[in-house]
Amino acid sequence: MWDAAQGALADLLEDEYPTMQLRPQKDRLQGFQTLATFYLRYLKIFRALEEVYDQIVHPQKRRVVHQVLEGVMGRLVELKNEMVELEYSEFHYFDDILQDFKMTPEDLEVPIPRYFVREKIRALKEREKMLAHILAKGGHQKPKTVPVQFLSVERAVWLLQVSERARQGRLRAHFMKTIRQEEQRRLQGNSSMLDPNQAATCIQKVWRGYWDRTRVNKECLEEMIFLGMIPAQQTTPSPAQLHAQQVESRRHYVQEEHEAEYQKALVNIKESVRSVDGPDIKESLQEQIRQWFLECRDATGKFPDFPNPEDGGSASIFAHKTPEQVAAEFAAREEEREKKKKSKGEKDKKGNDRKEKKKEKKEKMKGKKGKGDTEEEEKGWKMTPSNFLPTVVEGAKMYKEVWHNRDEKQNFLQCFDAQLVREEKRLEVEEELRVQVDELMRQELKNLKLVVDRDKGKKKKKVKKSSKKKKKKGRKTGKKKKKKEKDLTADRTIESLYEELVMEGFIIRPKNIKLTDYIGEYSYLGTTLRQADIEPMPSLSDVRQLIALYGVLPLGSQCVHERGPLIRALLLTGPAGVGKKMLVHSLCTETGANLFDLSPATLAGKYPGKSGLQYLLHMVFKVARQLQPSVIWIGDAEKTFYKKVPKLEKEMEPKRLKKSLPKVLKSIKSEDRVLVVGTTRRPFDADIKPFCKVYKKIILIPRPDYASRFTLWKELLQAGGAQLGPKLDLSSLAKVTDGYTQGHILQAIQTVLNSHRLNQQTKRPLTAVEFIPPLARQDPVYKEEEEAFKAWYTRTPLGKKRARAAKASEEEDHKKGKTKGGKSQKKEKKGKTKKRKKKK
């Protein structure tokens, strides 16, 4: 698997590197096609490498796979960003490209690496214990509330009477039934006995009928399950599944064991290399540097200056250069330093000014001439340089050089390779010893210079001292300019801050929900609708992919967050019940992130005043950075940016965060794995400009389409314990519930599937009609509300860009049509004149 994935990656890199150097493409569609093909190919490789990393046990191989895997993840995020900037849309459709690659819509799902949570499972368990302890100590654990209905005495007496009369009625009916059965037996006893042959045929007929019916029903059920018409109802896992689980747990244990052995070996082998090979390395380095002293003395007539530690020390001497080249380099550096130090005379300044003016004039002239050419070149789309391709290339190179043809017949248990560790540690020890040797040799060179050429040595020393002083002065001035933010909680520990935030309700426990639990199908009409200039509503599968790319991968991987496109804030908007909060909780579950709640309702009445709010935000972001990854959730995000605050909500002060939130967001750097997630069901109530300045990435979540509703009904009913029989028409339910969200469907299922109804399923199977009354009591998402969301999205920065691009393309098409029309008219006129001349 690893070999196949690396082969595919090598082919992809060969195809991708030429596109980085190509001229800008004027055809946007062609540009999108190239990006989409790269995206799908990287996605395929990502899935394979994630599986490889999960299954390989060898610690050194895992490091190489991990490096490439992180590079591929980052490249995926970069390509998605490129597609957004090219198409001015967060949602993209690859139907035609999927067919070319023979891929299914399931292959578009972004896999979430399992090591995100597994490699820090112990820390997560400890944090969970601490959170539970703090909640229990503060009495914040809410007991499960059971709804209690209060009855009047008359009502209670009436219920008792009804139940007692029903009980007596059932007993009377049972008594009458037994009397009737005894009477029938008595009458049958007087009748004549049947012939043995007739009795046997009667028994045979009944038994054969029963046996054939059960056999046919079983075969029909097996066929329907095989065709996928009915889901296989398997309550207990099969022996094969149990064995697979055991193998997986054993593999993870072996991975941890081998990793621990490898970490011990790193320390032990380094110590042995330092003790055994250290003296020899030190001697050889000293001999090389002494040889260089003599060669430079012979070539230039004087001893060279020893390179500074900033320039790389003695390592820069032996970078494949001759002594003459090295001496020339150091001489040039010294001249540059001296030029900077010396103050120039007025005459030189005037001369330089004249020269600069002449140069500027020449450059301006050149600029005017070459302006047209550059403008032509700049038009169109060009792929931006990647931050992740070098790491991917480096990882691929390491695989090819070290692991591709490595013979590992003797290493069946896949333990670490000691030879490779020794080679790595030898280089490390050499670097450490080089620093010590450089200090010794620097002193030795000074002594040699004092003996051989004292005068020159004194002058150079004086120059060096003055330069050091100046450098120090420059550093001091630079430090003064930088302003450090005041730490308002310098005297407090992170544990105490964490406890305070938990007690105040700003840190909450995320629900254990995975991203795969967010059920939704792929939209199969996206490309065809876009080709017809109709903007399709995104599917729930697309939403799931965006959450994985914008949230899970950057929060889970430090490398992706640092070098990829920085996303500080994300807005999830859509009607009530589409699963916005569920996605926030899934983000935390998949990455093991802390969940902070800064919703207006949570903030109400806590930490009053400007200083109180500043202190709270400082606490939240300090803890979020220290215990990263962290998700800061702001529910009802539109309230922070209200156009006009309603009278009922004025006491809550919902706009407290309006001024301070943009400032705090700017403080989030690329190394801070902190994401602010806002959720809103009424974005049109907010002032759009400041709202979109904070939330630059906006994901519009639609109501589910027919395919998503069908899978929702099936999955949620099975989860609730329902038996899906032929009488339960899921297709009709999915059709009837058009306009209802996932929350509405779930509520209807919960009201119908109570314990009493679940027990009756064997006698009275479930029907679709039972779910209609609870659905009828709820309001669906009407067309007007959906149109309001679409209209609001068109007013966002990305929506405006897309509208402008569509308008520009329409104008271009219109112009092309006019020019074609003009040419055809001219041709017609010419033809008519020729005919007239012929007639004459």
Residue 460 lies in a domain: no
Residue 509 lies in a domain: no
Q: What is the mean pLDDT of residues 641-660?
A: 82
CATH code at 759?
1.10.8.60
Buried/exposed code over 486-516 (b: 16+ C-beta within 10 A; e: otherwise): eeeeeeeeeeebbbbbbebebbbbbeebebe
Residue 588's closest CA among 119, 133, 117?
Answer: 117
Question: What is the C-alpha to C-alpha distance for residues 702 and 699, in angstroms, rounded to an integer?
Answer: 10
3-state helix, strand, coil in the chain (%, to 5): 70, 5, 25
Task: Please tell me the predicted confidence (pLDDT) of residue 204.
Answer: 94
Owner of token pair 């889901």: 231
Residue 772 lies in a domain: yes
Task: Please tell me the predicted confidence (pLDDT) of residue 266.
Answer: 87
Residue 447's closest CA among 295, 303, 331, 300?
Answer: 303
Question: What is the C-alpha to C-alpha distance for residues 776 and 751, in angstroms, rounded to an integer?
Answer: 13
Task: Please tell me the predicted confidence (pLDDT) of residue 685.
Answer: 85
* pLDDT > 70? residue 361: no
Task: Please tell me the predicted confidence (pLDDT) of residue 174.
Answer: 93
* pLDDT > 70? residue 455: no
Task: Please tell me the predicted confidence (pLDDT) of residue 479.
Answer: 44
Residue 764 lies in a domain: yes
Selected residue with higher pLDDT from 291 and 335: 291
Selected residue with higher pLDDT from 409 and 543: 543
Q: What is the mean pLDDT of residues 34-45?
A: 90
Q: For residue 475, count CB atoms less than 10 angstroms from its CB and return exposed for 0-12, middle for 13-18, buried for 19 or more.
A: exposed
Helix ranges, 655-764 (H): 660-666, 688-694, 706-719, 730-736, 742-752, 755-759
Q: What is the mean pLDDT of residues 445-470?
A: 56
Residue 261 lies in a domain: yes
Task: Please tell me the predicted confidence (pLDDT) of residue 473.
Answer: 42
Q: What is the mean pLDDT of residues 747-756?
A: 89
Neighbour count for residue 299 (Cβ, 10 Å): 15
Question: What is the C-alpha to C-alpha distance for residues 686 and 690, in angstroms, rounded to an integer?
Answer: 9
Question: What is the C-alpha to C-alpha distance for residues 539 and 223, in angstroms, rounded to an integer?
Answer: 31
The rounded Cα 276 to chain-centroid distance in angstroms is: 47
Residue 576's closest CA among 717, 716, 740, 784?
Answer: 740
* pLDDT > 70? residue 260: yes
* 175-212 confidence digits (pLDDT tens): 999 999 888 888 776 555 678 888 899 999 999 999 99
Six token digits for residue 443: 């002193």
Judged by average pLDDT, the poorest of 189-203, 532-546, 692-706, 726-740 is 189-203
Selected residue with higher pLDDT from 330 and 728: 728
Backbone angles phi, psi at 408, to 5 degrees: -125, 35
* pLDDT > 60? residue 793: yes
Number of domains in the chain: 2
Q: What is the mean pLDDT of residues 410-421?
A: 84
Confidence class for position 802, pLDDT limits 50, 70, 90: confident
Residue 20 lies in a domain: yes
* pLDDT > 80? residue 816: no
Entry pTM: 0.78
Task: Please tell me the predicted confidence (pLDDT) of residue 327.
Answer: 56
* pLDDT > 70? residue 833: no
* pLDDT > 80? residue 757: yes
Task: Please tell me the predicted confidence (pLDDT) of residue 187.
Answer: 78
Six token digits for residue 129: 């214990």
* pLDDT > 80? residue 11: yes
Q: Could you list the residue range(s) of the whole structural domain that residue 740 is in?
A: 706-780
Domain boundary pick from 736, 751, 780: 780
Confidence class for position 659, pLDDT limits 50, 70, 90: confident
Judged by average pLDDT, the poorest of 248-262, 481-495, 689-703 is 481-495
The conformation of residue 234, written as its DSSP 8-state character, comes to -
Task: Please tell me the predicted confidence (pLDDT) of residue 179.
Answer: 93
Task: Please tell me the predicted confidence (pLDDT) of residue 332.
Answer: 66
Confidence class for position 353, pLDDT limits 50, 70, 90: low
* pLDDT > 90? residue 158: yes
Residue 542 lies in a domain: no
Domain boundary pick from 405, 430, 453: 453
* 135-147 confidence digits (pLDDT tens): 887 655 554 444 5
Backbone angles phi, psi at 762, to 5 degrees: -65, -40
Selected residue with higher pLDDT from 546 and 827: 546
Selected residue with higher pLDDT from 590 and 434: 590
Question: What is the C-alpha to C-alpha distance for residues 576 and 742, in angstroms, rounded to an integer?
Answer: 9
Domain boundary pick from 739, 764, 780: 780
Average pLDDT taken over every residue of the chain: 81
Question: What is the C-alpha to C-alpha distance for residues 342 and 126, in angstroms, rounded to an integer?
Answer: 62
Q: What is the mean pLDDT of residues 394-401?
A: 88
Judged by average pLDDT, the poorest of 459-463, 502-506, 528-532, 548-552 is 459-463
Q: What is the mean pLDDT of residues 657-681?
A: 89
Confidence class for position 763, pLDDT limits 50, 70, 90: confident
Judged by average pLDDT, the poorest of 130-144, 205-219, 595-609, 712-726 is 130-144
* 52-108 confidence digits (pLDDT tens): 999 999 898 999 999 999 999 999 999 999 888 888 888 888 888 888 888 888 888
Selected residue with higher pLDDT from 248 and 355: 248
Question: What is the C-alpha to C-alpha distance for residues 383 and 34, in angstroms, rounded to an integer?
Answer: 10
Judged by average pLDDT, the poorest of 13-17, 242-246, 358-362, 728-732 is 358-362
Selected residue with higher pLDDT from 696 and 305: 696
Residue 548 lies in a domain: no
Q: Which of 136-145, 379-388, 830-839 has the highest mean pLDDT?
A: 379-388
Sequence-distant (≥ 6) Cβ neighbours of residue 314 within 8 angstroms: 285, 288, 289, 306, 307, 434, 437, 438, 441
N-to-C CA span, the chain: 82
* pLDDT > 90? residue 168: yes
